[in-house]
Amino acid sequence: MREIVVEHLARVEGHGDIEVVVEGDAVKRAVLRIYEGPRFFERILIGKSYYEVPDITARICSICPDPYQVASSRAIEKAMGIRVDRQVEALRELQLISDVIHSHALHLFFLALPDFLGYKDAIGMAAQYPETVKLALKVKRAGNAIKEVITGRTVHGVVTKPGGYTKVPRAEDLERLRKQLESSIDGAREAIRVFSSLKMPEYSLDDNLYIAVDPGEHYGYSGEYLLVSDGTRHPVEKYMDLTNEVTVEHSSAKHSSYKGSSFMTGALARLLLNEKRLYGEAKESYESLRDKIDPRNPFSNNMAQAIELLYSVQRAMDIIDGLLDEGIKDKLMVEVKPRAGEGIAVVEAPRGLLYHHYKLDDNGKVVFANLVTPTAQNAANMDKYLRIAVRNLKDLSDDELKLKLEMLVRAYDPCISCSVHLTRIGV
For 7, 314, 418, the CA distances from 290, given in Å and listed in that order, are 36, 20, 32
CB atoms within 10 A of CB 406: 18
- Report which secondary-structure segment, H or E, holds 341: strand 341-349
* Residues 376, 344, 216, 56, CA torsion sign: negative
How many helices and strands (H and E) does the chain possess?
Answer: 14, 15
Bridge partners (DSSP) of residue 6 are: 18
271 annotated as a binding-site residue? no
Whether 421 has a binding-site annotation, put simply, is: yes
Whether 190 has a binding-site annotation, put simply, is no
d(CA 354, CA 187) in angstroms, rounded, equals 27
- Cα separations in angstroms, 322 against 15, 178, 326, 424: 42, 11, 6, 46
Residue 153 has what DSSP assignment?
A: S
Q: Check whether 218 is labelled as a binding-site residue.
A: no
**HSE toward the beta carbon, residue 125, CA cutoff 13 A:** 20
Q: Measuring CA to CA, how many Å separate 153 from each of 14, 56, 107, 147, 390? A: 23, 15, 21, 6, 43
Displacement of CA 366 from its chain's centroid (Å): 25
Are 206 and 388 within 8 A, CB to CB?
yes
Give the whole-angstrom CA distance, residue 267 versus residue 273.
10
Q: Which of 152, 150, 160 is nearest to 53 (CA)?
A: 160
Q: Do the beta carbons of residue 143 and residue 102 sit within 8 Å?
A: yes
Residue pair 412/7 in contact by the 8 Å Cβ criterion: no
Q: Is 415 known to sit in a ligand binding site? A: yes
C-alpha distances out from residue 398 to 1, 3, 25, 405, Å: 13, 9, 15, 11
C-alpha span between 237 and 234 (Å, rounded): 8
Q: Annotated binding residues, as ranges? A: 42, 61, 64, 371, 415, 418, 421
Binding-site residue numbers for Ni(2+) are 61, 64, 415
Q: Which residues are annotated as a binding site for Mg(2+)?
A: 42, 371, 421
Which residues sit in the known binding site for Fe cation? 64, 418
